[in-house]
Amino acid sequence: MERKDLLDIESLAVEEIHEILNTAAPFKEIFTRSVKRVPSLRGKTVVNVFFEPSTRTRTSFELAAKRLSADVVNISTDRSSLVKGESLVDTFDTLLAMKADLFVMRHSSAGAPHFIAERIPVPVLNAGDGAHSHPTQALLDAFTIREHHGRLEGLEVAIIGDITFSRVARSNIWALTKLGAKVRVSGPATLLPKGLERMGVTICRTVEEAIEGADVVYMLRIQKERQGSHLFPTIREYYQLFGLNAERLKLAKPDAIVMHPGPINRGVEISDDIADGPQSRIHDQVTNGVAVRMAVLFLLATQQKKPSLDEALAATE
Ligand code: NCD
């Protein structure tokens, strides 16, 4: 993989996606060691700049960088000089002057990481920009599906919920279709964006139609914070029409898995028994997120002088 930044899935070649997933697999092995750390990014400084709330993504990036022995600094909006009126570019210039080697950035505006990436010389990793993109989420989801089903090619994946405001849905549609899976979507008509078919997905009128025969059932959170009013039925009605419960899951293939990017809203998009049930891979997604982010950090931060993967995995501190 020879690129400065990871900003979205659309610009990734299929070979690059495979390289990331194939690099993540041996990194995941490290989690079974008593010392879960390799020295491949020793001496590098990773700065997580989060302008939007996050629990799992920020922690996951932090752990990934630490397991590669990088130094990690976390910055969130409420405690940074942005509240004092400093511009985005000045904030990054300041952090660059302290010799940051790589930025992980989350922002509520689509395109903000692209804007910064064009202006600074070090890698920028998009950890979610508005409703646009969340590339590492799609990569960890592809990894999780491949881990269970052994492949992505030819699989039927149902993505259900608020598609319009979901960067997770958008990135997953790009990744899954590039990797040869077939994607169907279902959700309230007000939350299905125009032109979705052009992304190569099938729109299903009912949630049952979407789940029927699926290999993966992917539930989305309702992105209330991005929606205006009037787009969403009541929670009770939403759950009745689109929520995943045992009866609906029976329509999927017997070995189908259930996924969700988190945070989950129990009783809104998914029932308790399904979220915690045997087909759920929600915790695997979280575990795999660290491995996939290690892979991406490793591939981006070692562009100039890339050690072999064997070297990177060998020496445990
Ligand atoms: C997602 C996000 O922030 O885009 N969460 C995450 O990163 N796991 C999805 C969501 O908030 O619904």
Average pLDDT over residues 275-282: 98
Answer yes or no: same fold for 14-134+285-314 and 135-281.
Answer: yes
- Over the stretch 82-95, which tens digit does the pLDDT of each residue have? 767 788 899 999 99
Which residues does a 6 A CB cutoff place in the pocket of ligand 1? Answer: 56-57, 128, 134, 137, 167-168, 221, 223, 261-262
Q: How far apart are CA 176 and CA 155, in angstroms?
A: 9
**What pLDDT, on the 0 to 100 scale, is given for residue 287?**
98
Q: Which atom of ligand 1 sits closest to the CA of residue 261?
A: 8
Quote the ligand 1 centre to 262 CA distance (angstroms).
Answer: 6
For domain 14-134+285-314, give the fold: Rossmann fold (3.40.50)
Q: How far apart are CA 222 and CA 225, in angstroms?
A: 9
Out of 56, 148, 226, 306, pick the active-site residue. 56
Give strand pairing partners of 182.
156
Give strand pairing partners of 257.
216
Residue 73 DSSP SS3: strand
**Ligand 1 pocket: which of 51, 57, 107 to mutate (most atoms <8 Å of CB)?**
57
- Average predicted confidence (pLDDT) for the chain: 93
Q: Which atom of ligand 1 sits closest to the CA of residue 166?
A: 4
For domain 135-281, give the fold: Rossmann fold (3.40.50)
- Over the stretch 157-179, which tens digit does the pLDDT of each residue have? 999 999 999 999 999 999 999 99
Residue found under tokens 């959700």:
187
**What pLDDT, on the 0 to 100 scale, is given for residue 12?**
98
* Tally of residues, the chain: 317
- Over the stretch 225-258, which tens digit does the pLDDT of each residue have? 776 666 677 889 999 999 999 999 999 999 999 9
Give percent of the chain above pLDDT 70: 94
Confidence of residue 79 (pLDDT cuts 50, 70, 90): low
- Sheet of 216-219: strand order equals 202-203, 182-186, 156-160, 216-219, 257-259
Give strand pairing partners of 127.
none
Q: Evaluate if residue 183 carries a pLDDT over 90.
A: yes
**What pLDDT, on the 0 to 100 scale, is given for residue 193?**
92
- What pTM did the predictor assign? 0.94
114 is catalytic: no
- Of 246, 231, 313, 301, nearest in space to 67 by CA: 313
Hey, where are the domains in the chain? 14-134+285-314, 135-281
